[in-house]
Amino acid sequence: MTMPVREAELSGTTPLAAPSPAIRFENVSKIFAARGTGAAEVQALSGIDLAVAPGSILGVIGRSGAGKSTLIRLVNGLETPTSGRVVVDGTEVSALDERGLRDVRRRVGMIFQHFNLLSSRTAYDNVALPLEIAGTPKDEIRQRVEPLLDLVGLADKRHRYPAELSGGQKQRVGIARALATRPTVLLSDEATSALDPETTRSILELLSSINRELGLTILLITHEMSVIRGVAHEVAVIDGGRIVEHGDVFDVFTRPRHPTTRSFLGAETGRELPAYLQAHLRPEPVPGGAVALRILFRGPHATDPVISELSRALGLDLNILSGSVDEIGGRPFGTLVVSLPNDPVKLGQALTFLQARELDTEVIGYVA
């Protein structure tokens, strides 16, 4: 016999229930109406289902025109979905009017590719702007702005105008400004795309530390895998207005399923073969040639001396063609392309040996 369950009992704090997401897209589509005669309407997003857990960093990667700008603008209501729901911190943003949206926007910070700082205001006054807009009293503004400038490392530049700051410093002002109203969610719109690699790293480190220390949920969009890898916990790949792949950064990086993901990963994880190897690779067996095998080192045995064990156990002569060992999301990950004699029995044994150690293998072709 089952006990009737009252709703009140369910709504209480159930330790097993996952925390409700900070941002949730439910079957969201966005169509931009045709502008002008002869123009076709544009389906920017279709059937987006995506959730970002509180305190996590989700990176959305896509080519330009894939719909990622539209996606991020749905969160603070700069765009409204054609259908579906967007829920932020329990508030259905997609159902709000302008007035309601203004309240939500004060709980959602945003940083931009081109910083969008007011040229007529100093660093201090730029950070103060969202507080002025929210009607915060002047002395309270001071109490909030000063620590934020400290946090982003610009206390000594408070009276500088944006034109007197470097790109990285401008983005730091942008970050401080986005944090001024103490938001729970931070949106990052290609925030490092206009910066050089070194500055990008320092900005990503700042975002990571903000995420850790303030428990801020971050949704970022980018077209660079290195950004995802540098800062994100989860990654979603968007292509043609759809999420084609979504998961933990390590899993997606090491086992990409969608062709778009693979092309983005290309050089980033050593997946792309060096040109000399590509030139020698044949799709059909070559008489007297060898098999080229790709081994992906992930999981518990990623750091074991697998190759020498394999060589000894099966008496195989392995020739290393290319390889890289790397770290993704704090976990080791390696790629190795080896060639071994084209002998079906030996090859089968080798694959069994590698699979027993939870390593992914793939025959990528044949070499002479």
Q: Which residues bind other proteins (CB under 8 A)?
A: 76, 78, 101-106, 108, 110, 112, 114, 116, 118-121, 129-130, 132-134, 161-164, 181, 187
**Strand pairing class (217-222; 42-52):** unpaired
Characterise 65 by phi-psi region: left (phi > 0), alpha (psi -120 to 50), beta (else): left
Using the minimum distance from each CB to other proteins, give the nearer residue, 34 or 133: 133
In the three-class reduction of DSSP (H, G, I as helix; E, B as strand; rest coil), residue 304 is classed as coil
Helix 138-151 crosses helix 123-133 at what angle (to 10 degrees)? 130
Characterise 230 by phi-psi region: left (phi > 0), alpha (psi -120 to 50), beta (else): alpha
In the complex, the smallest distance separating the C-beta of residue 94 from other proteins, rounded to whole angstroms, is: 16
Using the minimum distance from each CB to other proteins, give the nearer residue, 194 or 351: 194
In the complex, the smallest distance separating the C-beta of residue 356 from other proteins, rounded to whole angstroms, is: 53
Side chain identity at 362, as an amino acid letter?
Answer: E
User: 112: Cβ–Cβ under 8 A, 6 or more apart, which residues?
Assistant: 174, 189, 190, 191
Using the minimum distance from each CB to other proteins, give the nearer residue, 72 or 249: 72
Using the minimum distance from each CB to other proteins, give the nearer residue, 149 or 340: 149
Using the minimum distance from each CB to other proteins, give the nearer residue, 101 or 340: 101
In the complex, the smallest distance separating the C-beta of residue 133 from other proteins, rounded to whole angstroms, is: 5
Using the minimum distance from each CB to other proteins, give the nearer residue, 157 or 233: 157
In the complex, the smallest distance separating the C-beta of residue 190 from other proteins, rounded to whole angstroms, is: 12
Residue 228 vs residues 104, 189, 223, 263, 269: alpha-carbon distances, Å: 26, 13, 9, 15, 12
In the complex, the smallest distance separating the C-beta of residue 81 from other proteins, rounded to whole angstroms, is: 17
Characterise 116 by phi-psi region: left (phi > 0), alpha (psi -120 to 50), beta (else): left
Using the minimum distance from each CB to other proteins, give the nearer residue, 162 or 365: 162
Listed residue (12, 26, 24) closest to 52, CA to CA: 24
In the complex, the smallest distance separating the C-beta of residue 144 from other proteins, rounded to whole angstroms, is: 14
Residue 233 vs residues 68, 87, 173, 260, 330: alpha-carbon distances, Å: 18, 21, 24, 19, 11
Beta bridge partners of 92: 87
Beta bridge partners of 292: 339, 365
In the complex, the smallest distance separating the C-beta of residue 234 from other proteins, rounded to whole angstroms, is: 23
In the complex, the smallest distance separating the C-beta of residue 84 from other proteins, rounded to whole angstroms, is: 21
Listed residue (266, 71, 112) closest to 195, CA to CA: 112
The Cα–Cα gap between 212 and 204 comes to 12
In the three-class reduction of DSSP (H, G, I as helix; E, B as strand; rest coil), residue 33 is classed as coil
Using the minimum distance from each CB to other proteins, give the nearer residue, 47 or 100: 100
In the complex, the smallest distance separating the C-beta of residue 201 from other proteins, rounded to whole angstroms, is: 24
Question: For the chain, give me the number of helices (H) and strands (E)?
Answer: 13, 14
Residue 160 vs residues 63, 119, 141, 153, 172: alpha-carbon distances, Å: 35, 10, 18, 14, 13
Using the minimum distance from each CB to other proteins, give the nearer residue, 63 or 160: 160
